[in-house]
Chains A and B, each alone.
Chain A
Amino acid sequence: MTGNVKKIKLTDRSVEFLRQVEEISGEEITVCEQCGTCSGGCPFVEEMDITPSQIMRKVMIGQEDVLQSRTMWICASCFTCTIRCPRKLDVSKVAEALRQIELRLAIDEIDLNDISENELEKLPTIAIVGAYRKLTG
């Protein structure tokens, strides 16, 4: 197989991964009708490698490589998708669940040492607190 197109299987593990994400997020991911409104309205979509609706689809079919995507780290929980979804699903909660799955394995996304002195002086407290709460375990 030399191309990029993959064939995948739907297994018990797929089901378990979906269940895990649904439990942490509290969202019924199988209800997603893939309309794409979340992706269309997301202010951060151009920084992402896969779109928010694609996250929902990958979780639904149990593709755990979704955890390797940058998308959930780019999400800033701005809730634009939350107020737009015609099925009233909260995509921001699904992104949070995916972040938590990684963070709870004690894999932090940011490190204080990477921020320059200059920046640390300028940055408002809320930015540092917020970033740490969101991006570390």
Chain B
Amino acid sequence: MKIPYYPGCTLKTTADYFETSAIASAKALGIEMVELPDWNCCGVVGSLTSDDLIRHLAPVRNMLRVEEMNARGDIENENRLLTLCSMCYNTLQRTNARIKQSSEDLESINNIMYLEEEPYKGTTEVVHFFQLLEEMGFDELAKKIVKPLKGLKIAPYYGCMLLRPEELGIDKPDDPTIMENFVESLGADAVQWNARSICCGSYHTVSNKEIVVKLAYEILHNARKCGADLLITSCPLCAFNLDNRQEEVEAQYLDFEPIPVLYFSQLLALALGLGVEATAFDKNYIDPRPILKKKGLLK
């Protein structure tokens, strides 16, 4: 199947290995991720005020592109837009919900976008990669796994944007199971831990680093305490805060033991038997290869 794919800024820069591992895994599963032509910034961080309509323009433009792809025949009958980055997912979804609720807002935005060829009709649906896997069926996914990650204890880190608020989330915010199901379909063990949806500190990493360091310590320490070998995430900001910031965490907390943080697609690629270009383990700040080798999952 072919599906329009929205990368977002960071997947083209510092988090490029998220994209490459995801695209390669998708391909192995028979999904062709067709990059959205002429896409722009998703509009993160989405506006939470009721009077800031202009901030919804950027997301709507992206969703318009999906309609254009369909109209041109570049994609057939696929009105869904696939995202990988949790923040892009949440921002686009929020705008989508607002547009669907208010035809007046949609009209206003279309008026502002008058230079576009066609107005946005409101038909695009935003989905996250996990939802695509859930639709395929985690049992089906398990059948396609070439190298089950047996014995690997994975702490799925949801973060905020995949689950909250409830109307936009991909699963129930207080009791989600989608990532655990994903982990199990890879043949690994999903760890039950307490910090799986506690915020990583988000953009405070720019000017208020200490907050992120403290939260990262709490999250990673809890993952370790609950027996995890590594964490998986779906957000480049979370990945940075939990992976790259471990340098600062280690400096500040004496009892801290580094723990790898991976994009979920990297492990998916490994389980599907794809090569080093897809798994890209050399890009992670904390190297996951030692623990993977220890578990016999890497040579």
Contacts and interface: CB of A to CB of B under 8 A. Distances in A.
Interface of A: 23-26, 43-44, 47, 74, 76-80, 82-83, 90, 92-93, 96-97, 100, 110, 114-115, 119, 122-131, 133-135
B48 A93 contact: yes
A40 B116 CA distance: 47
A58 to B, nearest CB: 19
B199 A80 contact: yes
A110 B207 contact: yes
Interface string B154-171: 000000100011100000
A128 B236 CA distance: 12
B240 A83 contact: no
Nearest to B195: A43
B256 to A, nearest CB: 18
B40 to A, nearest CB: 12
A79 B10 contact: no
B124 interface: no
21 contacts: A23-B50, A23-B51, A25-B49, A26-B50, A44-B201, A74-B211, A78-B164, A79-B160, A82-B164, A90-B48, A96-B49, A100-B49, A100-B52, A124-B10, A124-B13, A124-B15, A125-B13, A126-B44, A126-B236, A133-B45, A134-B45
A123 B206 contact: yes
Instruction: Give the residue among A47, A80, A126, A129 with the most B Cβ atoms within 10 A.
Output: A126
B8 A126 contact: yes
Contacts of A82: 164-165
Q: Which 9 A-B pairs have the closest CB atoms?
A: A26-B50, A78-B199, A79-B164, A96-B48, A130-B203, A131-B203, A131-B206, A125-B9, A76-B202
Contact of A24 (B8, B41, B49, B160): B49
B199 A43 contact: yes
B142 to A, nearest CB: 31
Instruction: Give the residue among A25, A47, A76, A90 with the most B Cβ atoms within 10 A.
Output: A76
